[in-house]
Structures are given as structure tokens and as C-alpha cells.
Structure 1
């Protein structure tokens, strides 16, 4: 047996595997004997089928399968032994058109195309500089959070006349351009939050209404999101696009208003526990602290994205694009040509970043351990339990059991592995480069690119 590879250029190569009968026949003979022991054929006792009969009836199929296994194993071993950093998987060369007799005496020569990872230097050093933002709550964000907290602990009232922010309990009836009822049209009674109405003119028309008042609105102008329209009309999301006409007569049945809670000791105690906060000043400071702790994640995501973009921009390499497109088609036979072209640029970006991550891990001896993946799985499960079952907590033993079950799913395990790898690379780069801390208010942070 002879196996070798030839570089076509820096990113494309061909691996050639030459097989003589003595290379593969021992394995073929072994497979035929195993088949003979297992075969259940008419006229023969179980396990007593002659190997000559198996060779005559099934020999070519066995030969074909074993040759493929042998070639695949040898190519994979050759790639590992020669430390070839390949992209995708080896593909049979398109011009490899040899015809064989498959008679156990053939000399085979198989050619496989491979895509090689481009060579580059890791783009991050001790001299690399990034800004690490410390996000402060601006006045508008702070007041919005305080308002939401006060409304959460407020009480419902039923004023006579609606104001902005009220909830109108109303009947919505589909009408034509002249305001006449449409026979068989949509009729539904629902709660309409005025502060969720996107169109300013329509929103203004819902202020100053009282019970039994009527107003005609264009529901598609009132709400930008199909899901919101579907909720108000009690229809399916996919039915919104074909909704015609979109004019509805809104008749107020009741005006509901959520009065904000008073800034008093009872309110503070409900939020933070008895006696922890005693003044409005302390309350505002506590809310600011809460908001800014949540914004830490936004700052982290910004830094991660800046590092990602810097890496992509700094590494200038070529990829074996023709090979990669062929490989993507081979592994995704249902993909259409326009879909492949449309997503190929993003595929190359992700591939480039994956190579950068892998290079950082390899050069610096970083390792993703099972315990780290298990720990992340437990964190994700605990967060889900908290989200869907507030107040309920699982024991560490239960979380471990759930996590092991989750990781038994290969797709989920790979996703969590990639998350841990990304975090490990981020932490390493963050510790390597120079970080300049900069305070910025949240509204200004949102304006950053």
C-alpha cells in the first residue's frame, strides 16, 4: 500500500491511495468468514454456509465495502500522522474515473481532494488594544425601570376617560372603508394597551375615550408586529398577511389603568426585604445598581463582538472556495444553488473565526474539559427552571442528572462544547490584550456601532 499527497497550491491538495491485492485481501477473507458464521441461507445450517458460497454470492459487495472502509481509515490516519489541517472532509477527485473489475485481483488507485486550512498568525498580542465599556444607567432608562417596578406592585383602577398607557378592553369589528360592518368579518374582544400602539396618530386617537366610544383604526398601521395583530384579533400569525381590509371599529367596553405604587416603606419592603431600603434615595440607588448589573452582559457582548470583528479584519487569507462549495453540496444534498451562494460569505466568516479560535487553543495549550461543559449545562437548566417555575429550585444532584441527559444529545453537547470553547478563548484574549475601561451611559452605548 502506498499513500501520499500532493499540494496543488497552498490551500488545495490531493491524497492518493494505491492498493494491491495483498493490501486488502486479508481483510476481505476475514469479513467473508464472519459473514459465513452469521448467514442464514436456504439449504445450509446456521453458521455452516461455505465461505466459497459467500464469496461467490456476496463477494463483490463485501469487497466494495471493505475497500471503502480501508481507504477511509488510511486517509484519516495519514491526515493525523502528517498533521494536515484540513477543511471539511476528503472528497473523491472529480476526474478520478477509473473502472475496476472488483475481482479480488485489482490494483486500485484512489484520488481524494482535500481543502487545506490557510496559514496565518493569531491576530491578538499584548499590544492589541480594546475598549471595555462600563455602562451606566442614563436617566431615561432608570426612570423606565422605576416605572415598571411601581406598575408591577400597583393596583388596577377603572377611570372614566383613557390616558396614554391605559389598557382599553374593547370590541374590534372588521369594517369597510366607509365604516360599515362586513358580513362574516372578524369580531373579537380583547385588551389593547395604548402604549404598545406603534402609529402615533392612532395612539393619539385612543386617548380621551370613555365607555361605548367608537373609533375606526387600521390594525396593520396600529401594530408593526404580526404577532401583536394576531393576539388582538385572535387569529393565527400567518393569517395577518392576507388580512383585508385591515380597518376595524374599536368600541370601548372598559378603561383599565394600572396605578403606580407609592414610594413608601411597604413598597420598598416588598421589593428588597424588610428594612433594607428606607428612603427614596436608597431606593433609586438600589435600582441603579440592579440595572447596571444587568448591563454588564451588554458590555461583555460588545467586547466579544469587537474582538471577533478585529480578528476577522486582521486575518487576510484565501480559502479553497470551490472545494468548500462542493463539500457543502455533498453534505447537504438538498441545498439549492442560490441558497448556497447566499449563505457562503457568512459560512466563510464563521470558518475563519473557528480557525482563529482553534489556533489560539492549540498554541496556548487551552483545553475544554467535560466538567466545564457539564457545569454550563447545569447553569442553563437552572436558568430554565427559574424562568418557567419561579420560586422552584432543583438540587445540585437533580441538575447533574438533567445535565447528563442533555449532553447525551450529540447536537446539544456540541453546542455547549462550542460555547465553553468560545468563553475560554474570550477569557484568554481578554487577559492577553490591553483593555481601556471607559464609562458610558446606556443611551450613548446604544449608539455605538
Structure 2
């Protein structure tokens, strides 16, 4: 067997694999004998089918399989031994002038196009300066969080008249253009949360209502065209919600109000455990710390986005774009040319950053350990469970759920990539110069 490489340019090469009969005959004969022992054919006892019979019946398909196996093995070994930094996968070049007899005496030659990763020097340094925000909880954000927590542990009441933050339990009926109820139209019983109404004028029209009051509601305007919320409210598909033009009559069945819990010891103990917080001042500071801890993740995400943008501009990596587009089409048969063109820039951007990220890891011997992946997955699951119940899961039960979660390959890959991103970010924080700036959360949101 002979393998040669014809370099087209720094990003593209063609590998030629030449195979002679002596390279594959032994493999084929061995495969035929194995098949003969397994074959169950009429007129022969199991395991006693002559190899010549198998060769006559299935020899050509066995030859094709073995040539393919030999090609895959030899090409993989060549790429590894030659230390080619391959992007995507090798693509076979179709040459219609080459015809093979597949008669065990053919000389085969196959050409493969290969896209190569660009070579570049990694030179992040202290000369690279980026802003790192220390986000502080502003009073509005703090009070909003406290209000939500108090409501979560509050008591339900049924006032006679609705106000800003109430929930209207109501009957919604679709209206015809003339204002009458549309026969066989959409009819839904739903809870309308006034704090989710986007339009202030509509929100005002829904306050001061009593049981059995009827008002007209423009759901598209009320929810600012949010198809998801409208679909849930009316029990229809999101597609239908997007196309919906009708207005609705809203008949109040009941007014529900969630009264805020008192800032007392019972409330503090429910939130944090017995005796952990014993005063309103401690409670406020505890909530502030939790908010700012979450905001630190937002700051890291902002820094990560800024580093990605900075790195892509700094290194300006070229890619074998034509090859990658052909590879994407070859490996995604349902991908249209239009989808490819629209999505390629994002794909190429992510690939460039992945190359930079991988180089940071290899050049600095950064390790991604299973313990890191496991701990990150456990934290994510713990946060999800706390969304439904403030009561923490026992450690052994949470660990068991984490093991099950990571047995799913897609979940494991997602968490691995998350840990990898965090490792690279933590490392680069120690390399580049960070201009640390305090900023209130409301101002931080304006940056994005």
C-alpha cells in the first residue's frame, strides 16, 4: 500500500491511497472463512458451508467491505502519524474515469480531500485589556426579588376588586369583527396574570374588575405578540397564536390575590433553615448576596463573550471554507443550500473560537476532569430542583440523579463543553489585564 499527500495550500490537501491485491487478499480470504463458519444456508450444516461457495455468492460484497475497512484504517493511521490537524472528515473525490472490476486482482486508487486547521501562535498577554464588571444589586432588583419570595410563601385571597398584581380567573371567548362572540371560535378558561400584561393601557382596563364583569381584550397587544404566552392562555398552538388577529371577550370568574408573607422568623426559617437568619436586616443582606452571586455568572458570561470577540479579531483565522461547506452538505443530507449559506458564518465563527480554545487548553496543559463535569452537572440539577421546591435534595439522592443525567451522551457533552469554557475563561482571567469596574445591575443590562 502506498499513501501520498498532495498539498493544495495551507488549508487544503489531497491524500491518495493506492492499494494492490497483495494488500487486501489475505483480509478478504479471512473474512470469507469467518462468514462461512457463521452462514446458515439450505443444504449445508451450520458452520460447514464451503468458503468457495461463500466467495461465489457474497465475494464481491465482502471485497467491497474489506477495501472500505482497509481504507478507513490506513487513512486514520496516516492522519495520526502525519499529525494532520483535520477539520471535519476526509471527503472522497469522485473520479468517474476510474472503473474497478472487483475481481480480487484490481489495483485501487482513492483520493480524499482534507481540510486543515490554520496554524497560528497563541499570544494572549497582559497587554490585552478587557473590562470585567462587578455587578451590584440595585434597589429595584433587590426589592423585586424580595417581593417574589414573599409572594411564593404568601397566602391566597379573593378580593372583590382586582388590582395591579392580581390574577384574573376568566372565560375568554373569541370575537367576530362585529364584536359578537364567534360561533365555534376559541373558548378558553384561563388565569390571566396582570403582572405579565405588557401594555399599560390594557393592564389598567383589567384593574378594578369584579366577578362577572366583561371587558374586551386584545391578546396580541396585551402580551406584545408573545406567541408562547398567548398559546398557553388560549390552549392553542404557537403557530396559531402567531397568526391570531381576533379580539376576545374576558368574563371574570374570580379575582385571586397572593398576599405577601410577613417578614417574620417563620418565613426566614422556611427559606434558609431554622435560625440561619434571625432579622430583616440579615434577610435583606442574604438576598443581596444571593443576587450578586448570580450576577457574577452574568459578569463571567459578558467577559467570555468579550474575550471571544477579542480573540477572533486578534487571530483572524482563515478556514478552508469551500471544503467545509461541501463537508457540511455531505454529512447533512437534508441541509439546503439556502440554510447552509445563512448558517455558515455562525458555524465558522464557533469553529474558529473552538480552535483557539483548544489551543489554550493544550498549550497550557489544562485538564478537564470527570469530577469537574460531575460537580457542574450536580449544581445545574440542584438549581433546577430548587425552582420547584426550596427544600434541598439529600446529597446522596442528588448524586444519584447526576449519575443518571450524565449517562445521556448529549447531556454529558453539554456539561463537558460548559466546563471546558469555564476552564479556558478562568485561565485567561489570569493572563489578560482586567479593568474591574463596579456597575449596577440595571446599567449592566443596558450593555447587552
- Normalising by structure 1, we get a TM-score of 0.91
Q: CA 1:58–1:164 in 2, change beyond 3 Å: closer, same or farther? A: same
Change (3 A) 1:359 1:97: farther
CA RMSD of aligned residues (A): 2.5
SS of 2:242's partner is coil
Partner of 1:60: 60
Equivalent position SS for 1:4 = strand
Task: Please tell me whether residue 240 in structure 1 is matched to residue 230 in structure 2.
Answer: no
CA contact (8 A) 1:96 1:110 kept: no
Listed as ranges, the gaps of 5+ residues in structure 1 are none
**Residues 209 and 79 of structure 1: is their aligned pair in 2 closer, same or farther, counting only changes over 3 Å?**
same
Structure 1 counterpart SS, 2:357 = helix
Aligned length: 447
Q: Is the 8 A contact 1:123 1:311 kept in 2?
A: no
Give, in angstroms, the shift of residue 22 of structure 1. 1.3
Over 3 Å counting, the alpha-carbon distance change for 1:238 and 1:156 in structure 2 is same
Q: 1:376 to 1:285 in 2, by over 3 A?
A: closer
Q: For 1:150-229, what aligned pairs fall within 5 Å after superposition?
A: 150-224=150-224, 225-229=226-230
In the alignment, the residues of structure 2 paired with residue 156 and residue 405 of structure 1 have an alpha-carbon distance, to the nearest angstrom, of 38
* Superposition deviation, residue 181 in structure 1: 2.6
Equivalent pair of 1:220/1:229 in contact (CA under 8 Å): yes
In structure 1, C-alpha distance between the alignment counterparts of 2:333 and 2:193, rounded to whole Å: 48
Match of residue 299 from structure 2: 299
Give secondary structure in 1 for the equivalent of 2:230: helix
Moved more, 222-231 or 102-111: 222-231
Sort the Cα spacing of 1:139 and 1:386 in 2 relative to 1 into closer, same or farther, 3 A: closer
Name the counterpart of 1:46.
Answer: 46
| 1:391 partnered with 2:383 | no
Range 413-422 or range 99-108, more displaced: 413-422
**Residue range with higher mean Cα deviation, 79-88 or 421-430:** 421-430
2:414 is equivalent to residue 415 of structure 1? yes
How far 1:267 moved relative to its partner?
Answer: 4.5
What is the CA distance between 1:318 and its match in structure 2?
1.8
Name the residue aligned to 1:441: 440
Distance change in 2, residues 1:33/1:400 (3 Å): farther
Give the whole-Å Cα distance in 1 for the aligned partners of 2:51 and 2:189.
79
Change (3 A) 1:143 1:375: closer
| 2:271–2:390 contact (8 Å) kept in structure 1 | no
Residue 381 of structure 1, CA deviation: 4.0
CA distance in 1, matches of 2:189, 2:414: 43
Once the two structures are superposed, residues 80-134 of structure 1 have per-residue CA deviations (whole angstroms, 9 ceiling, x without a partner) of 0111001111111144641111111111111111001011122522332222211
State whether residues 159 and 257 of structure 1, in contact with CA within 8 Å, keep that contact through their aligned partners in structure 2: yes
Aligned residue for 1:102, secondary structure, equals coil
Distance in 2, matches of 1:401 and 1:254, equals: 43
| Greater mean alpha carbon deviation, residues 429-438 or residues 340-349 | 429-438
Work out the CA distance in 2 between the residues paired with 1:150 and 1:404: 34
TM-score, length basis structure 2: 0.91
- Distance (whole Å) between structure 2 residues aligned to residue 305 and residue 438 of structure 1: 17
Distance 2:235 2:413 in 1: 39
User: 1:279-320, CA deviations, whole angstroms, 9 ceiling, x for partnerless residues?
Assistant: 544443333222212211111111111111111222212211
The whole-number CA distance in structure 1 between the counterparts of 2:327 and 2:408 is 25
Moved over 6 A (4+): none
State the 1:59 CA deviation: 1.8
| Shift in CA distance, 273/333, structure 1 to aligned 2, threshold 3 Å | closer
Q: Distance in 2 between matches of 1:50 and 1:256?
A: 83
**CA distance in structure 1 between the partners assigned to 2:190 and 2:406 by the alignment:** 43
Write out aligned runs for 1:26-41 (5 A). Answer: 26-41=26-41
For 1:79-98, what aligned pairs fall within 5 Å after superposition? 79-95=79-95, 97-98=97-98
Please say if residues 123 and 315 of structure 1, whose CA atoms lie closer than 8 Å, have aligned partners that are also in contact.
no
Tell me which moved more, 103-112 or 139-148: 139-148
